[in-house]
A and B are shown apart, each in its own frame.
Chain A
Amino acid sequence: MNYIIFSGVSWEAYSYKRLLDVLPEREDIVFAGTMSSSEQAESGIRSLSLEEIYRLPVKDFTVLVSSPYWLQDVLALSPAFVVALLEHCPEGEDGSLWDKYSGLLAAQADLTATASERLYLEQLLSRSGVVYLSGDSPLSYGLIRRGERLYFLADYEAVWKRALEELWHPQDKAADVEPWAAIQLRHRAEYYLSMCTKLPKQPTVHYLAASYLYLLGDERAAQLLTRSFELMLLHDYTDCLHSHYRFFSAMEAKRGNLELAVRQYEITAFTAEERAVSEQLQHWLDSGRRELVQAELYRLNEDGAAAIRLLEGAADPEARSLLLLNYTDTFQWEKALRLQQEPENTAGDPAAAVLQGSGAAISILQQIPVMEGTLYLLYGKRHAAIRSFLRAAGADQGARALFAEMADLEEAVGRLRGRMADDEV
């Protein structure tokens, strides 16, 4: 397999060198930027400028992107597969811009990987196909031979290898093989369960064990969450109704105990907006629209991925409005726009749907042209983007903020390319 590496930093500072050593079926590996001849010889990787990369048969390459500001180039190149390597915002970058475009990069990627456990968990709640690039098991879980050298793989490296292999050779769905994503979740759950034994009074390890068990669909999740909640209260962290108690509602929703789940959510609903949501849930429950209740409870617990899985197959006409909300929340904006443009959508009016939970209520209709403009920008259609932003702003002065963000993005991309060009000097 051929790979192109788009890094946010120089080769010297690139932190995924070991992962490149254990890439499966490694053939041509290209680093976008500059490497010394000894670095190239040592790593078996060649460096090329952006112009040279544009001349490659990119359809035969998988790109590994570790800065969201490469997204425009990645989309323009249209490679075989995109792998997003997500990182926390580096010092000196605008945090909100970085996070937004990291979200968009992850949504565009065929595979998302991160060495941050916080980002891993956040991504698991947004989409499937996420690899955690770190781990705590000291054992070797596989091997890769490259020429004379034999590499032993840590658990996450073995998962990384399998995830990449499955991009090119998808697993037969009928095969009785545990998916790599579930294996990694299981390894994380095992780790935190063992930590719970070692640290029985530590609420965070219990919360993390509960989170992984919840994602695995393991019923022990509630037990671990209960323990975590108790420990939080014992430690006088009384502000844990939102963070801990509300999580019970997602677990009960997953188990199908919707009446209990709605009651649990209601206990955590303080603001007028949350109380309105609570009433809506109760109303749906009373009218037997259980899929909506379940999906909305997932979304209210930030589990957009579970909500989307449910809603994509749901028959309820209003499911489409909720789906739109979840696509928007998880940066799957192309899907959101496609859904918005589908004629059947008139059945459920998305204009009526309101983005809840984040405080301010923003009409989806206002959000649509912003998403549209951002995507135009990412696909290099600057004028179309400006038109969309102007439409989004309407009569008020909102366009200024959108143009400012556009300028910030262009500046960040410029800095990245500038760094790459500096390396070449």
Chain B
Amino acid sequence: MSYNAEAKADAVSPERLAGRYSYLEREGLLPLPTRDGVTIIVELAHKEWAEECLKRLLLYSGPAVRLTGVVMKEDFPLEPLLEQLSAETELSFLPYERGNYRTNEALADARTSFVVLVEDRVMVTPGWLGELLWPAIDDPAAYVTAPCSAAEEQEGRAVLRFGNDLELSAYVNHQLSRFRGEWQEVQVLSGPCLIITRDILQRTGGLDASLGERRYIIADWCLRARQLGARLALSSASYVHVLQPLEGNTGYTDGGEQAAYAEAGRAYCAKWGLPDERLGEAGLPVPGELSALERQPAIPLGRTAAALPLVTAVVYFEDKWPAAASMQRQLLLQAQQSYGNIRWVSVRDSWADTSPDFPVHEQDTVITVQGEKLWLHALESFSAMYQSEVTVYLSASVSYDSEYVTRIVKALQHSTAALIVSAAPGLAESELPSYPERGAAAVLPLERTAHRGGIMPGRIVKRESSRRSLLLCPGPELAVGYIAGGPASGAGGSVNDNLPSDGEGGTRK
């Protein structure tokens, strides 16, 4: 080959090289630009599409990915996916837990430099991921990248109809060949697919599930990342195809879903100091000067107390307790429970209760009433006064093992019962002696009963026996579930030695 010929070959080499690079990427022959692979977190909510979505992600994302499917809806059937995809070792699932936003758990578990958060209504194409990782390498401040899709904001919104996957792939390849390497900085992203670096994830923290709607949750996270100096990149060359639920709320229906969506929008606006009217704008409203706003706190990643359902533990003293003993008892009960999100409320009858006001945490409450009738009424109507997802009644005269509240919450999450009765420690649920008829309205021992929030549990009456404990007569419409008691050792379940005897404590008249 002559020198001139070599020079000519050099002159065309960038295009040729780009062509060859393009071929390698399309064929999945290129490694991803990351040493430790990519974690893909798939939010599972659409049972009819999830399998196809996961299969395409497994097929087209390259060998260095790990997938975590997070079940977002209670009625999402996970079993078929487990059966279909059991051979996929790089795929794991986080089942649904009521009240627990498990996406943050999955994000916390991600150990790779890049994390992808994607909805199960996204259909990807061969080589989709590589292009989306490059912005963070092009610009060290570009920590967050998204592809164009029909559900992205403003500049990223590409509404396109494809008859089948061949047409989709042809378009994606065409876009890549035209715009490879091009990305632009945007104010906000809120779409179904987001690529983030672990670095910014750890600094920004998790998603704020309290905003309710995914669009606002993602946008809020992006704004928080921007407050920390992150640039948001929209890849002009990348496109993912998003499916729309047929029943989807497109702003026309009057139902509860629309109200919830509007409420989420208002919550987002309130958080970022935006007037609600701006929700009517074409795109998602964002604050003009993010740096001028107070920095939003990071949301802890992982399984946090805030992510657990709030439990209200109502502590009641049936007997007259000496002041010091009652305070000690209350603190002991509080310290014993391992569950992370409890609001403690004690309901006291000022006539019977001699204990002084003891210090409580900010969210805890002491309700003082005078007279037994009022005291019982306060216990009955408690759930109407304080909103929480679960209310647990704890008698000061009974000991509970450390997992008692956790067990109750779990039982309510996995059952449709309105009320849960725990057997005495060491007893299986089937061994409940007094309440053999499952589900039938019965008289329940208040000290071992819990109920869902937002219901009136029924009437509370005194049990005339040596123990003088309280009973709950549940409303006939409420389903009652029974669970086994905790471990028999240690906790005992009966009155401890340090508790007052009948003689010492006196009786309520």
Residues of A within 8 A of B (CB): 18, 137-143, 145, 149-152, 154-155, 158-159, 162, 177-178, 180, 183, 186, 189-190, 193
Contacts and interface: CB of A to CB of B under 8 A. Distances in A.
B246 A143 contact: no
Interface in B142-171: 150, 159-166, 168
Interface of B: 48-49, 52, 123, 150, 159-166, 168, 241-247, 250-253
Given A142-B243, A159-B246, A183-B247, A150 B165 contact: yes
Contacts of B168: 152
16 contacts: A138-B159, A138-B161, A139-B150, A141-B243, A141-B244, A142-B246, A143-B123, A150-B52, A151-B164, A152-B168, A159-B246, A178-B247, A183-B247, A190-B250, A190-B251, A193-B252
Nearest to B250: A190
Contacts of B164: 149-152
What 10 pairs across the A-B complex have the smallest Cβ distances? A150-B165, A139-B244, A190-B252, A138-B161, A151-B164, A141-B246, A158-B246, A138-B159, A178-B247, A140-B243
B247 A18 contact: no
Contacts of B243: 139-143, 152
A393 B52 CA distance: 63
Given A139-B150, A183-B246, A152 B252 contact: no
A183 B246 CA distance: 7
A9 B245 CA distance: 35
A162 B150 CA distance: 23
Contacts of B241: 140, 152
A140 B240 CA distance: 12
Contacts of A143: 49, 52, 123, 243
Query: Which of B52, B123, B150, B243 has most chain A Cβ within 10 Å?
Result: B243
A142 B252 contact: no
A155 B246 contact: yes
Contacts of A177: 247
Contacts of B166: 149
A142 B53 CA distance: 12
A274 B120 CA distance: 58
B159 A139 contact: yes
B162 A140 contact: yes
B159 A152 contact: no
Main secondary structure of the interface of A (DSSP, over half): mixed
B161 A140 contact: yes
Nearest to B164: A151
B162 A142 contact: no
Contacts of B48: 142
B150 to A, nearest CB: 6
A138 B149 CA distance: 12
Nearest to A154: B161
Contact of A141 (B52, B160, B245): B245
A140 B246 contact: no
Given A137-B244, A152-B165, A162-B246, 6 more contacts: A138-B161, A139-B243, A140-B161, A150-B123, A152-B168, A180-B246
A193 B253 CA distance: 12
A373 to B, nearest CB: 43
A7 B49 CA distance: 33
Query: Which of A138, A140, A150 has most chain B Cβ within 10 Å?
Result: A140
B259 to A, nearest CB: 17
A257 to B, nearest CB: 20
A178 to B, nearest CB: 5
A149 B253 contact: no
Contacts of B52: 143, 145, 150
Contacts of B159: 138-139
A138 B163 CA distance: 11
Nearest to B248: A141
Contacts of B250: 190
Contacts of B150: 138-140
Query: Which of A142, A149, A186 has most chain B Cβ within 10 Å?
Result: A142
Nearest to B245: A141
Query: Which of A145, A152, A193 has most chain B Cβ within 10 Å?
Result: A152
A78 to B, nearest CB: 32
A138 B242 CA distance: 12
B165 A186 contact: no
A364 B376 CA distance: 72
A190 B244 CA distance: 15
A96 to B, nearest CB: 37
A180 B247 CA distance: 9
Contacts of A159: 246
Nearest to A219: B254
Contacts of B251: 190
A138 B244 contact: no
A223 B362 CA distance: 52
A189 B253 CA distance: 10
Nearest to A218: B254
Contacts of B245: 141
Contacts of A145: 52
A149 B242 CA distance: 17
Contacts of A193: 252
Contacts of A149: 164-166
A337 B165 CA distance: 51
Nearest to B159: A138
Contacts of B49: 142-143
B280 to A, nearest CB: 13
Contacts of A139: 150, 159, 161, 242-244
A285 B243 CA distance: 51
Nearest to B121: A140
A422 to B, nearest CB: 32
A142 B159 CA distance: 15
B163 A152 contact: yes
A18 B168 CA distance: 17
Contacts of A180: 246
A152 B125 CA distance: 14
B246 A138 contact: no
A72 B52 CA distance: 42
Contacts of A140: 150, 161-162, 241-244
A139 B246 CA distance: 10
Query: Which of B243, B246, B247, B250 has most chain A Cβ within 10 Å?
Result: B246
A53 to B, nearest CB: 29
Contacts of A141: 243-246
A151 B251 CA distance: 27
A310 to B, nearest CB: 24
Nearest to B161: A138
A149 B247 CA distance: 25
Contacts of A155: 246
Given A140-B162, A150-B52, A150-B164, A189 B252 contact: yes
A213 to B, nearest CB: 10
B244 to A, nearest CB: 4
A24 to B, nearest CB: 11
A150 B56 CA distance: 11
A220 to B, nearest CB: 10
Nearest to B53: A143
A30 B473 CA distance: 65
A273 B70 CA distance: 67
A155 B48 CA distance: 15
Contacts of B160: 138
Contacts of B165: 149-152
B50 to A, nearest CB: 11
Given A143-B123, A152-B243, A186 B253 contact: yes
Contacts of B244: 137, 139-141
Given A139-B150, A162-B246, A178-B247, A151 B163 contact: yes
Contacts of B242: 139-140
